[in-house]
Amino acid sequence: MVRSIQTGERGRVQDRVVVIGAGIGGLASAALLAARGMDVTLVEKEEMVGGKARRVEVDGRAIDAGPTVFTMREVFDDIFQACGAELDDFVSVRRADILARHAWSGDAHLDLHADPQRSEDAIGDFAGADAAKGYRAFSKHTREMYETLESTFLKAGHARTPLPLVWRIGPTRLRAQMSIRPFQKMWSALGRFFPDPRLRQLFGRYATYCGSSPFDAPATLMLIAHVEARGVWLIEGGMQALAEAMRNLAEGQGAKVRTGEAVARIEIAEGKASGVILESGERIAATQVVCNADPSAIGSGLFGEDAARAVPAVPPAKRSLSAYVWLAHAETSGFPLARHNVLFSPDYPAEFADISAGRTPQDPTAYVCAQNRDACDGAAPYSRERLQIIVNAPATGDRRAATPEEMDRCTSAMRRSLERCGLSLEQDMPHRLVTPDQWERLFPSTGGALYGRASHGWAASFRRQGPRTRIPGLYCAGGATHPGAGVPMAALSGQLAARTLMSDRASMSRSHPVATNGGMSMPSARTSATG
């Protein structure tokens, strides 16, 4: 039996929004919409907020089990300020001096720094004066790419064809349009700047930030290097602390956050979104629904057959990377860990050929986040430290589960990669291993893909789902929607979903005059009261 909740004292039914999923995109939408006077209910199936930005306990220690690199702080400053608040009042954030530490062997290490001159000097010391010159040219080029696309694409409405982007950049700005290099493969473009294959590998790795291969992704993704060079930030309490801060922000604006409650169905009436039905049978009425889940979950019918026509599911061949992730509390020795570390495979093409063939790499690159390390002096803070170790894998989690033999084999391959670069872990370390099929169970209809659609080919960005769907009143947000994967991009998607919803609402109000609370550009009563 379906039970309908009553409309509260705030607003009428036409002002009610339900947000499905308390990932970063859903939290951003909920806070911004509540700040604009909407009656917002956010429903999350897990007991904690954050989505992929989750925390897992291992050996009595809380370990960040999702994204760990925090960039584009200004996106979150904007969200908090739009709600009449300041990010620093909710969470402690400070800039990291070292962006990441990289290694290819026990004696080949390279740090990238927050200070660009230090990065250039380090590259020169590592690979010679020509490499430093190449890095200087690369930095200039990626800055131009970012400046071209920031307002025209990353923070703009979704475009399904290149033409709107051309007009946003400006049809006469041919140099700016060509600078984004959509038709050149990333790996090929990097060769122009970095003849040294190790540096090509280092900067090619940024394609994996959105779950893609540097051999198939467009050169446009080189701009991610500029995003990181602008600043990496350390959050006290990890990424879960940021998610909790955004929950507090949303609730401070009047949003209701309900955790531990799953949505069984998105209700569609008269061709429009009209609310959700929870697994408990409760109905929450709404005229707008924001779904912070992978769009494939909608398209595959996970939220009901009526809603499935709203978006297409991503074909398995177009999925982004998945991963094997070890969450460990372990003693380490040898390699001087920083907070963020990348220990590279000796054969990058072979690594991605394995993934393309549906296999976990035999000789993988490993990312290691040493979560107790703030400074980068190589000194271990405790006898054991909290680690997240990631190895890229194909998104086949809905086709088969990892066997114990496969998990042992992957663990051995990961350890070999670390040891090649001089890092040793205790043999019987307390840990949990998360495999692609476990990611699929956490985020259904993805196969374990952690980044939505892969950014392969020049048109991939235009095929990514935007905030609007084919069903009026149903919107998408999250790292699998425009503008892309990653914590700041998910937050931008939440901003775009909220802005699009309010714009559509204002347009409907002009067509059917009713009393409204205004659009996104208008300060809310709450904002005025707290500002």
Domains defined for the chain, CATH in brackets: 3-56+67-92+237-315+459-530 (3.50.50.60), 115-230 (no CATH), 321-442 (no CATH)
Q: Is the dihedral of CA 480, 204, 316, 50 positive or negative?
A: negative
Residue 72 burial by CB count (10 A; 0-12/13-18/19+): exposed, middle or buried?
A: buried
Q: How many CB atoms lie within 10 A of CB 74?
A: 13
pTM (2 d.p.): 0.88
The strand pair at 332-334 and 423-425 is best described as antiparallel
Written as six digits, the tokens of 184 are 């050149």
Written as six digits, the tokens of 405 are 């033999």
The strand pair at 385-393 and 98-105 is best described as unpaired
Distances 168 to 41, 117, 162, 177, 180 between C-alpha atoms, Å? 35, 33, 10, 10, 14
How far separated are the first and last CA of the chain, in Å rounded?
A: 45
3-state DSSP percent of the chain in helix, strand and coil, to 5: 40, 20, 40
CA 106 to chain centre: 31
Q: Which amino acid is present at 341?
A: N
Residue 104 burial by CB count (10 A; 0-12/13-18/19+): exposed, middle or buried?
A: buried
Print pLDDT tens along the chain (531 aa).
333 443 343 444 448 999 999 999 999 999 999 999 999 999 999 999 999 999 999 999 999 999 999 999 999 999 999 999 999 999 999 999 999 999 999 999 999 999 999 999 999 999 999 999 999 999 999 998 888 877 666 666 654 544 343 333 354 444 544 454 555 899 999 999 999 999 999 999 999 999 999 999 988 889 999 999 999 999 999 999 999 999 999 999 999 999 999 999 999 999 999 999 999 999 999 999 999 999 999 999 999 999 999 999 889 999 999 999 999 999 999 999 999 999 999 999 999 999 999 999 999 999 999 999 974 444 555 689 999 999 999 999 999 999 999 999 999 999 999 999 999 999 999 999 999 999 999 999 999 999 999 887 655 556 788 899 999 999 999 999 888 889 999 999 999 999 999 999 887 766 655 433 333 433 333 333 333
